[in-house]
Structure 1
Amino acid sequence: MDPADIPLIQSLAVSKTLRSDRLIWHYTKSGKYSVRSGYRLARELQKEVEVGPTCTVLRAQAWKLEVPSKVQHFFWQVASGSLPVKERVAFQGVRCDVTCQRCGSAVESINHALFECERSCLVWELSPIHTPSTGFPYGSVYSNLDFLYSKVFSSSGGSSIGYLLPWIIWIIWKDRNKKVFKGVEAEPMDIINEATNDKLLWEEAKSFAVNLLPPQPPPEDRVTSVCCKVDGSWKSSDPLEGLGWWYGTHNDRTLLLGARSLRCSPSSLHSEFNALLWAMESLRAAGIDCQNFESDSAELVAMVQAPDDWPAFTHLLEDFHSLRSSFPSFSLTKIPRLSNVRADRLARSSRPLVSEVAFVNSDERNYNRDDQKGFRQVLKYVNR
């Protein structure tokens, strides 16, 4: 075997049920094909080399604007050159007059429609934005977008003015469509007023929706309830991974805990899953019927809820379903990382060990990675 492949082969989980091998899509974590991953792979295989400036950043900026999603998509179209102005429509093979219907003096390109048309220029002159006398609007739509984004995402133009700019461009485009399809158009000052009103109405609608959210149910009395928190610690350069779990009450009283070092898995998500499996095995061996398991890994929770979407973890899911039958009221919920400090500390402390060791005890003070004497007080001791 190639020496570089040996650690990967050793980290693979082996089916305990002699399940036949199957093909999976290893370009995603789950092993399930997605159009996004296929598109990304196709682009990588083409080995395209971009020469000169790229518009990727401008397209990405569109999704950061504080505007409705349809307006964000509009700005993405502008940056990607796909806005359906007459020049673009004609380029796609549609026979039409490419002259701008608002001014009738030039070809209607994206930059012309939004920035260079006489009516658009009047709007920008009346807008509260401070424009340099020899600069904006520029002859390139990308330069204009870059200039406006610099105003939106900085305080140089004032926060209220900066947030208004995307709405002005959006209303200019809507006014252009009214002229093309209905033959009507608004005065430049009316366009600015409409942009201001739409911005205020959208912000009011957002705050109104937040206030209408249903009240959260009162927290349950969890003083006497118990749960098991699990976590994994993984680093690709380390030969071992760390597993940790903490079982106790919600008033932070420790009932049982475990820490373990194990041969490194293929990924951090495998480590999270191994931590859950080992916690279930340990609690079952101790005769504890734990109903509530908690993890800070959203992917682990999703995997348990929809196992068919994660073919890359088939073998581990088989082990999980076998253990799941021992916990009639099993549940796994997502918790914040700051709420999982104990399990995280146990997992991190186990990863730097020099050999595979398992530690289970009822007192976390007995476990210290700098003091191996703690392992003499374990309920279970394994050193392979």
Structure 2
Amino acid sequence: MENSDSLGITRSWQRPEPGMVKCNVHANWRNEGSLVGGAWISRDHQGNVLHHARDAFTSSPNRLAAELRCTIWALQSLKDLGYNNVIIGLDLKTAFQAISNAKLWPRYRHLLSQFDHLRRGFICVRFEHESTASNVIAHDIAQSVLRDGILRSYLALGGPAWLHNRIRNEASNVNC
């Protein structure tokens, strides 16, 4: 992979293979007393945005708990939208590790058990550890929740208008 670091994590967004939907997820956690901004954006194998969503969540004790809650929300949303084959891209390494090997994370057993339940509603669910750079669109949407005080949940077709150029550039600059 020419566009990756020494750990094999890509530095730019990568398209999913045909038949899969890639959903990048991010939770903007500040501290244990603040609201959490969450966002996800789903794209097809051509880089076209299918849906995106953002929401404000009640406080979480740490970023890992916030990221797990946000990812559960994204998975439930994708299931409700009728997607069957999904890749979830996460930039928080500990979230990826916890989902990949829940037995080693007993403190988060309640959250992690929800992943097993949700996985049954899909034909294929795969989780990928993303670099911060390859997850920047989801990050920016999540950050806008708290920055702009947009605390209402929404789900929309396509991507947010204020990110269209960046999304188009990202989709056209990836390796096929």
Q: Specify the TM-score bucket, using the shorter chain as the normaliser.
A: 0.7 to 0.9
Structure 2: segments with no counterpart, 5+ residues: 1-13, 164-176
TM-aligned CA deviation for residue 250 of structure 1: 4.4
Aligned to 1:321: 116
Residue type of the partner of 1:278?
W
Change (3 A) 1:250 1:239: same
Q: Which residue is 2:143 aligned to?
A: 348
Which string of whole-angstrom CA distances, capped at 9 and with x for unpartnered residues, describes residues 203-241 of structure 1? xxxxxxxxxxxxxxxx99847753111111000176210
Map residues 80-119 of structure 1 onto 2, 5 A cutoff.
none
* TM-score (structure 2 length as normaliser): 0.75
Distance in 1 between the 2:30 and 2:134 partners?
Answer: 22
- The offset of 1:314, in angstroms, is 1.1
Structure 1 outlier segments of 4+, above 4 Å: 353-356
- CA distance change for structure 1 residues 238 and 367 in 2, over 3 Å: closer, same or farther? farther
Alpha-carbon RMSD: 2.6
- Give the match for residue 30 of structure 2: 235
Q: 1:333 to 1:237 in 2, by over 3 A?
A: closer
| 1:264 shift after superposition | 1.3
The offset of 1:353, in angstroms, is 5.8
1:302: which partner in 2?
97
SS of the residue 1:330 aligns to: strand
Partner residue of 2:79? 284
The answer to whether the aligner puts 1:337 opposite 2:132 as a matched pair is yes
Given that residues 259 and 359 in structure 1 are in contact (C-alpha distance below 8 angstroms), is that contact kept between their aligned partners in structure 2? yes
Structure 1 unpaired stretches of 5+: 1-218, 369-384
**In structure 2, do the counterparts of structure 1 residues 317 and 224 end up closer, same or farther at CA, with 3 Å as the change threshold?**
closer
- Note the C-alpha offset of 1:321: 1.5
One-letter amino acid matched to 1:269: L
SS of equivalent to 2:155: strand
Q: CA deviation at 1:315?
A: 1.1
User: Comparing both chains, which one has the higher relative contact order based on Cα–Cα distances under 8 Å and sequence gaps of 6 or more?
Assistant: 2
Preserved contact between residue 263 and residue 356 of structure 1 (Cα < 8 Å): no
Check the 8 A contact 1:283/1:290 in 2, yes or no.
no
Q: Residue 246 in 1 paired to residue 20 in 2?
A: no
Shift of 1:354: 5.1
| Structure number having the greater helix percentage | 1
How high is the TM-score relative to the length of structure 1?
Answer: 0.36
Q: Distance in 2 between matches of 1:221 and 1:318?
A: 26
The change in CA–CA distance for 1:354 and 1:310 in structure 2 (over 3 A counts) is same
Q: 1:364 to 1:336 in 2, by over 3 A?
A: same
Contact 1:262–1:357, Cα closer than 8 Å, also in 2:
no
The one of 62, 72, 75 equivalent to 1:267 is: 62
**Residues paired across the two proteins, number:** 150
Q: Tell me the amino acid that sits aligned with residue 155 of structure 2.
A: V
Check whether the contact 2:36–2:56 (CA below 8 A) recurs between aligned residues. Answer: yes
